[in-house]
A = this chain, B = another copy of it.
């Protein structure tokens, strides 16, 4: 679809980690600034910080093409809906297994291209049944070390709870071991949340130091069963909103056809 000049430009990743203090959520901005259009994507945006993120995107001269989620969040309202309203043309992305509405639904093995860079979709269910991990592409032109955006499947020294939203400790254990720990050890782990001020880890580090996922599956399941966590404060507001809010589209064409 694109001309020769554009596809031959050297990809160059611009990367920003952004923090939302109330829900301790990390939003990630990735763009191919080697491409003349500087196509960008936003991963796990939060409604409260959507304006900050859009201002940054405008300031840097990027063209936002995707607003994506790793899963249907229960602790904050996604920024996807607001972003689509404020920046028409942006497409929402979520996994098919999440059963949420979005412009593009993705499945295990799919690739999401932005310029000459791409993310690979890996199904990592267990925290929710639709959780995916987005991993930067493999190849000489793709970022090295690779980066894995794990959502709540794998957190730094932790993992997401498995007692809601179709969660399963057995599935989460299998997902992390087969899909995340199978990546090169220097792969950077960028989670959806951190509550202690950590910003990044690596596959190698979590394989040795994660207090839950270094255990055998039986011990892991028992740890998860005995967490005694409170009912998620935001779940009854956030989940219904997040199941739908990647969908609304404010472009004139969309409104006309709605």
Residue positions of A touching B, CB distance < 8 A:
16-21, 49, 52, 56, 59-60, 196-200, 205, 209
Chain B residues in 8 Å Cβ range of A56: 198
- Minimal beta-carbon separation of A30 from chain B (angstroms): 14
Known: A60-B205, A209-B59. A18 touches B52 (CB 8 A): no
Which secondary structure dominates where chain A touches chain B? mixed
Q: Are A49 and B209 in contact (CB under 8 A)?
A: no
Q: Are A21 and B18 in contact (CB under 8 A)?
A: no
A19 in complex: contacting residue of B19, B60, B209, CB < 8 Å: B19
Chain B residues in 8 Å Cβ range of A198: 16, 18, 56
Chain B residues in 8 Å Cβ range of A199: 16-19, 199
Counting chain B CB atoms within 10 Å of each CB, the highest count among A17, A20, A196, A205 belongs to A196
A234 vs B153: C-alpha distance in the bound complex, in angstroms? 39
- Minimal beta-carbon separation of A191 from chain B (angstroms): 14
Q: Are A21 and B60 in contact (CB under 8 A)?
A: no
A129 vs B199: C-alpha distance in the bound complex, in angstroms? 31
Q: Are A197 and B18 in contact (CB under 8 A)?
A: yes
- Minimal beta-carbon separation of A178 from chain B (angstroms): 25
Chain B residues in 8 Å Cβ range of A17: 199-200
A205 vs B198: C-alpha distance in the bound complex, in angstroms? 25
Chain B residues in 8 Å Cβ range of A197: 18-21, 49, 52
Between-chain CB contacts (< 8 Å), 8 pairs: A16-B198, A16-B200, A17-B199, A18-B198, A19-B19, A20-B197, A21-B197, A59-B205
- Since A16-B198, A18-B197, A59-B205 are in contact, a sample of 8 more A-B pairs with Cβ atoms closer than 8 Å, ordered by chain A residue number, is A16-B200, A17-B200, A18-B198, A19-B19, A21-B21, A49-B197, A52-B197, A56-B198
With both beta carbons as reference points, the residue of chain B lying nearest to A199 in the complex is identified as B17
Chain B residues in 8 Å Cβ range of A21: 21, 197
- Minimal beta-carbon separation of A179 from chain B (angstroms): 24
Chain B residues in 8 Å Cβ range of A196: 52
A196 vs B199: C-alpha distance in the bound complex, in angstroms? 15
With both beta carbons as reference points, the residue of chain B lying nearest to A157 in the complex is identified as B59
Chain B residues in 8 Å Cβ range of A52: 196-197
With both beta carbons as reference points, the residue of chain B lying nearest to A49 in the complex is identified as B197
Chain B residues in 8 Å Cβ range of A49: 197
